[in-house]
Amino acid sequence: MNDIAIHTENLTRDFSTVRAVDSLTMEVPTGIIFGFLGPNGAGKTTTIRLLLGLLEPTGGRAEVLGFDTRTQANGIRLRTGALLEHPGLYERLSAEDNLEFYGRVWHLPTNERRARIKELLTHLGLWERRKESVRTWSRGMKQKLAVARTLLHRPSLIFMDEPTAGLDPVAAAALREDLLALAAREKVTVFLTTHNLAEAEKLCARVGVIRQGKLLAVGHPDELRARSGAPRAEVIGRGFDEKLLALLRARPEVAAADLQNERLLIDLRGEADVAPLVSLMVSAGAEVEEVRKGKASLEEVFLTLMEEER
Amino acid sequence: MIADVWTVMWKEWKEIFLQRGSLRGGAWNLLLMIGVFGVFLPLQAGRSWVESPQGLIYWAWVPLFLVTSVIADSFAGERERQTLETLLASRLSDRAILSGKVSAAVGYGWGLTMAAMLVGLVTVNLAHGRGELLLYPAAVFGGIMGLSLLASGLVAGVGVLVSLRASTVRQAAQTMSIAIMLLLFVPVFGVQALPAEWKARLAQAVMGADVVQIVLVAAAVLMVLDLGLLAAAMARFQRARLILD
């Protein structure tokens, strides 16, 4: 089995004067959930279309599961599953018929098809409602069914374009749990686009950050957090004012200090100790309730990357 | 390839029969069609329904009406209901998707036409048979079978080209109505516009020819048109273009 599921080299796609994907070079190892992060219009969906061979690149090249996207797109589509921007379900048909159709598309033998449909629908809690027309279902249920359809033929790689977009927090959390469980059980590589950073942090073993078609960073979420700089302290309490901020900023171990939503955020230089800073704050009249020291969240890394590129 | 075409046809037929929300609604729709074309109109026409060779024109016209309603939905419907991209991202080949959709529309239109024709035959025998068994002459019967099939193919060919370009089903259906009007009226007005001498010659040729000759010429013309339209649809079917449209 190939260790690299997706390999791109200077992959580029233009739409008249707009460059949607700009010299994208990256590798996605086999067997992981890879998160492709970026704001709306960053080029995530275009990248998926390029990788599925649905669009021709303007420049560069890409290989998916060892198949060239330009010349061997059929080989790619045979071995992959895709949950794209929309669930892509036939709403006049029942849930079972939707899966039956795609089971036939992938030439699953009748007995195997039926067993697989039952297995997936049972796992997702939809088996009892399999005969219902999909049009009567909630968006969350439709999205779960679309996940089942994507995994039906046991693909070795699946593409998911913002699978939790538009779902309420409960449905989104349930779908994330299902995705994690199914991906682990099926040992499938997942290429997941999202602009939900908490989701990426929770699901992904590796993430790539894209903006205006350009890949800004790629790595494990921890690596990206580490790359973003030194640790940060978050202080909760009362009496934080401009005078205190000025005192903190004057300290050599403090790179930056800011108030955000009544929380004091202090960016530290190196592995600086927080205790002397707490003493300073207390002596300056502030009341400290809680101090948390840690690295920046993926969201903060993401925002930093977005800012750097502007 | 054949299995894939059949799979697409299976899905298309399911969608056609469920378009009114349930199988019962779909069945009523079919019964209504058969009632109009297989009972009401034959009862009005009487014995001439079977005895006159004009039946050939009628049965070649019926599929135009039936196929139009289905084929407009083929690609424009998938695009409108946001299922097209998922279908294109599957392992199905371009040829299988296109052939499956065209075959489903042709099968629906032609199958319903044949069912209505047989019901019409029974209706005329029951109502106007007077103890005789009324049957279409062999040449007319063969002509009805062949020409209605080829006419279904013609509408499906035009329809799939229209549906590939249309962004909504309504737009596709409107364009199809215009295309069908042109298909029906251009030959009629074209003949009207011919010089009198040519018209006389044409009428003489038609009157002089037997049914078999007319059927064969019409079938050859329809066959060429069908193949041309299918080739054009195949050339127009490009995944990237369909997604970006």
pLDDT digits (tens, 9 = 90+) for B156-187: 998 888 888 888 888 988 898 888 888 778 88
| C-alpha distance from A236 to closest chain B C-alpha (Å) | 48
How many alpha carbons fall within 13 Å on the CB side of residue A67? 19
Question: Can you give the pLDDT at residue B26?
Answer: 78
| C-alpha distance from B39 to closest chain A C-alpha (Å) | 30
Q: Which two tokens stand for residue A221?
A: 């979420």
Question: Can you give the pLDDT at residue B228?
Answer: 94
Question: Can you give the pLDDT at residue B7?
Answer: 94
Question: Can you give the pLDDT at residue A310?
Answer: 58
pLDDT tens figures, A235-278: 888 888 888 888 888 888 888 888 877 788 888 877 778 888 88
Model confidence at A184: pLDDT above 60: yes
Please, are residues B134 and B47 in contact by the beta-carbon 8 Å criterion?
A: yes
Read off the pLDDT band of A228 (50, 70, 90): low
Question: Can you give the pLDDT at residue A230?
Answer: 61
Model confidence at B112: pLDDT above 70: yes
Taking residue B55's Cβ as centre, other Cβ atoms within 10 Å add up to: 22
| C-alpha distance from A49 to closest chain B C-alpha (Å) | 9
| C-alpha distance from A110 to closest chain B C-alpha (Å) | 13
Closest chain A residue by Cα to residue B88: A54
Residue type, A279: S
Pairing of strands A157-161, A189-194: parallel
Task: Residue A85: list chain B partners with CB under 8 A.
Answer: 82, 85
Question: Can you give the pLDDT at residue A297?
Answer: 67
CB-nearest to B19 from A15, A49, A92 is: A92
Closest chain A residue by Cα to residue B240: A55
Please, are residues A57 and A50 in contact by the beta-carbon 8 Å criterion?
A: yes
Read off the pLDDT band of A12 (50, 70, 90): very high
A107 with B3: Cβ contact below 8 A? yes
Question: Can you give the pLDDT at residue B245?
Answer: 66
Portion 212-241 of B in contact with A at CB < 8 A? 239-240
- Please give the C-alpha separations between residue A247 and each of A127, A172, A276, A277, A283, in angstroms, as whole numbers: 63, 44, 12, 10, 11
Q: Output A87 or A174, whichever has higher pLDDT.
A: A87
Model confidence at A150: pLDDT above 70: yes
At a CB cut-off of 8 Å and minimum separation 6, what does B91 contact?
A: A74, A77, A78, A105, A106
Average pLDDT of span B181-198: 83
Read off the pLDDT band of A100 (50, 70, 90): very high
Model confidence at A94: pLDDT above 90: yes
Question: Can you give the pLDDT at residue A51?
Answer: 95
A105 with B7: Cβ contact below 8 A? yes
Question: Can you give the pLDDT at residue A110?
Answer: 93
Rounded Cα distance between B220 and B232, Å, is 18
CB-nearest to B85 from A15, A53, A84 is: A84
B243 with A84: Cβ contact below 8 A? no
Residue type, B32: L
Question: Can you give the pLDDT at residue A102?
Answer: 95
Question: Can you give the pLDDT at residue A295?
Answer: 66
**Chain A residues within 8 Å of chain B (Cβ atoms):** 15, 49, 52-56, 74, 77-78, 82, 84-93, 97, 101-102, 104-107, 133, 159
Read off the pLDDT band of A27 (50, 70, 90): very high
Portion 7-66 of B in contact with A at CB < 8 A? 7, 10-11, 14-15, 18-19, 21
Residue type, A60: G
Model confidence at A216: pLDDT above 80: yes
Task: Residue A13: list chain B partners with CB under 8 A.
Answer: none
Read off the pLDDT band of B210 (50, 70, 90): confident
| C-alpha distance from A223 to closest chain B C-alpha (Å) | 33
Model confidence at A140: pLDDT above 90: no
At a CB cut-off of 8 Å and minimum separation 6, what does B200 contact?
A: none
Q: Which two tokens stand for residue A24?
A: 């994208």
A82 with B81: Cβ contact below 8 A? no
Q: Give the orientation angle of helix B211-236 with respect to helix B55-71, to 10 degrees.
A: 10
Average pLDDT of span B222-243: 87
Going along chain A from its start, the domains and CATH numbers come out as: 4-225 (3.40.50.300), 230-294 (3.30.70.100)
| C-alpha distance from A116 to closest chain B C-alpha (Å) | 18
Question: Can you give the pLDDT at residue A226?
Answer: 67
Three-state SS for A34? strand
Mean pLDDT for all residues in chain B: 86
Counting residues of chain A whose pLDDT is more than 90, the rounded percentage is 38
Read off the pLDDT band of B10 (50, 70, 90): very high
- Please give the C-alpha separations between residue A256 and each of A245, A267, A270, A300, in angstroms, as whole numbers: 9, 5, 13, 14
pTM: predicted TM-score of the whole model, two decimal places:
0.80
Model confidence at B209: pLDDT above 80: no
Taking residue B205's Cβ as centre, other Cβ atoms within 10 Å add up to: 12
Model confidence at A197: pLDDT above 90: no
B86 touches chain A (CB under 8 A): yes
Model confidence at A219: pLDDT above 80: yes
CB-nearest to A77 from B10, B90, B243 is: B90
Model confidence at A117: pLDDT above 90: yes
Mean pLDDT for all residues in chain A: 86
B80 touches chain A (CB under 8 A): no
Using a 10 angstrom Cβ sphere, with 0-12 exposed, 13-18 middle and 19 or more buried, the burial of residue A269 is middle
CB pairs under 8 A between A and B: 73
B240 with A56: Cβ contact below 8 A? yes
Closest chain A residue by Cα to residue B77: A90
Q: Which two tokens stand for residue B150?
A: 């080829």
What are B138-146's contacts with CB under 8 Å, separation 24+? B139/B210, B139/B211, B139/B212, B139/B215, B140/B53, B140/B55, B140/B56, B140/B211, B142/B215, B143/B56, B143/B211, B143/B212, B143/B214, B143/B215, B143/B218, B143/B219, B144/B55, B144/B56, B144/B59, B144/B60, B144/B117, B145/B114, B146/B215, B146/B219
**Max Cα-Cα span within chain A:** 76
Model confidence at A1: pLDDT above 60: no
Closest chain A residue by Cα to residue B19: A92
A54 with B243: Cβ contact below 8 A? yes
Task: Residue B86: list chain A partners with CB under 8 A.
Answer: 82, 84, 86-88
Q: How many domains does chain B have?
A: 1
Three-state SS for A31? coil
Average pLDDT of span B186-212: 81
Task: Residue A78: list chain B partners with CB under 8 A.
Answer: 91
Which backbone phi and psi does A57 adopt, to 5 degrees?
-70, 150
Model confidence at B153: pLDDT above 70: yes
**What is the DSSP code (8-state) at residue B137?**
-
Closest chain B residue by Cα to residue A146: B86
Model confidence at B100: pLDDT above 90: yes
Question: Can you give the pLDDT at residue A309?
Answer: 58
Rounded Cα distance between B197 and A127, Å, is 73
Taking residue A61's Cβ as centre, other Cβ atoms within 10 Å add up to: 15
Taking residue B233's Cβ as centre, other Cβ atoms within 10 Å add up to: 23
pLDDT tens figures, B24-61: 877 888 888 889 888 998 888 888 888 777 778 888 88
Question: Can you give the pLDDT at residue A162?
Answer: 87
Average pLDDT of span B118-145: 86
Taking residue A287's Cβ as centre, other Cβ atoms within 10 Å add up to: 11
| C-alpha distance from B18 to closest chain A C-alpha (Å) | 6
In this predicted structure, which of B26-30, B179-183, B212-216, B240-244 has the lowest mean pLDDT?
Answer: B240-244
Average pLDDT of span A192-199: 83
Q: Which domain holds residue B215?
A: 2-244
A101 with B81: Cβ contact below 8 A? no
The complex's ipTM works out to 0.84
Task: Residue B90: list chain A partners with CB under 8 A.
Answer: 77, 102, 105-106
Task: Residue B91: list chain A partners with CB under 8 A.
Answer: 74, 77-78, 105-106
A97 with B15: Cβ contact below 8 A? no
